[in-house]
Structure 1
């Protein structure tokens, strides 16, 4: 089901988490929250929206990482119901598209729930204090027209790194709904 992210709740304090990558290495959010902020992206493998932006996301997060802005990705989908999102496929997909950031498994979906993630991709741009400053889209490109795109996420994260505050005008990200376990609906 197609979903849009909610408007940015400026100043919302992101709850800390520790999740493991598919190889079992733990990553704690607060350890990656540097003086220039942190991007936390909720992603998955199977979503056509993520697949459509995967290369551009690799390019843009590479830029952010090179500029000292942290990036973590969380996969909250129920991979038992969506086998293509299984951790074994996460590693392969990330390598194929060139993602350099840790891609973490939210096994019990508690991080996705605590953060209010609604779709993939869902981007949360935090300042150095861990306060939300961006909840928008990657760029203005469509599925078939990435040339000449406006790199909105990069611009927002650079502004956050520089000033601690995100842009007031933000357009929502759009993607597939998070696949919650049936107990949640």
Structure 2
């Protein structure tokens, strides 16, 4: 079921976390935070919306990292109901796709709840002081990639955050598969 992210709550503070990553290390928010901004992305392995943008996300992450933006991806889906999103499968995807950022596992889903993540992909773009400045889409892609020359919404927004400390006031929410929550 497709879900859309809410409007950006400008200045909202990034909740801290400590999560295991597919590279065998453990990362906290301070470990992944960048000097000029931070991008936290909730993704998973199976979602067609994530798979449609993954190459562009990797490209944009590399470019943003070169500008001083820290990047991390988090998978919070219930792997019991969605085995493609297991930690082992996350590690395989990160290695095969050459993720330039840590791919973190939120097994108990506490980080997704703290961020109020609703879908995959869900983008949280923070300024240098970890205040939220962007909660929009990567680009106009949906479950299929958009044209190659499509406007790079996330990249342009985070570039503005790096240059001015502020994200754009007009943002188009991301759309994707709902987070697969564990049964209560």
After TM superposition, the score normalised by the length of structure 1 is 0.94
Query: SS of the counterpart of 2:81?
Result: coil
Alpha-carbon distance, 1:47 to partner: 0.3
Rounded to whole Å, the distance in 2 between the matches of 1:146 and 1:30 is 35
Rounded to whole Å, the distance in 2 between the matches of 1:169 and 1:93 is 33
Rounded to whole Å, the distance in 2 between the matches of 1:144 and 1:45 is 16
Rounded to whole Å, the distance in 1 between the matches of 2:163 and 2:85 is 35
* 1:1-185 equivalence runs, <5 A: 1-142=1-142, 143-183=144-184
Structure 2, unaligned runs of 5 or more: none
Q: 1:177 to 1:128 in 2, by over 3 A?
A: same
Moved over 6 A (4+): none
Alpha-carbon distance, 1:59 to partner: 0.9
Query: SS of the counterpart of 2:104?
Result: strand
Structure 1, unaligned runs of 5 or more: none
1:141 and 1:150 in contact (8 A); partners too: no
When structure 1 is superposed on structure 2, of 109-118 and 79-88 the one drifting more is 79-88
Rounded to whole Å, the distance in 2 between the matches of 1:167 and 1:23 is 34
Alpha-carbon distance, 1:125 to partner: 0.2
Rounded to whole Å, the distance in 1 between the matches of 2:121 and 2:70 is 17
Rounded to whole Å, the distance in 2 between the matches of 1:24 and 1:117 is 24
When structure 1 is superposed on structure 2, of 135-144 and 85-94 the one drifting more is 135-144
Rounded to whole Å, the distance in 1 between the matches of 2:108 and 2:68 is 30
* Paired residues, number: 183
Alpha-carbon distance, 1:85 to partner: 0.3
1:36 and 1:69 in contact (8 A); partners too: yes
When structure 1 is superposed on structure 2, of 46-55 and 18-27 the one drifting more is 18-27
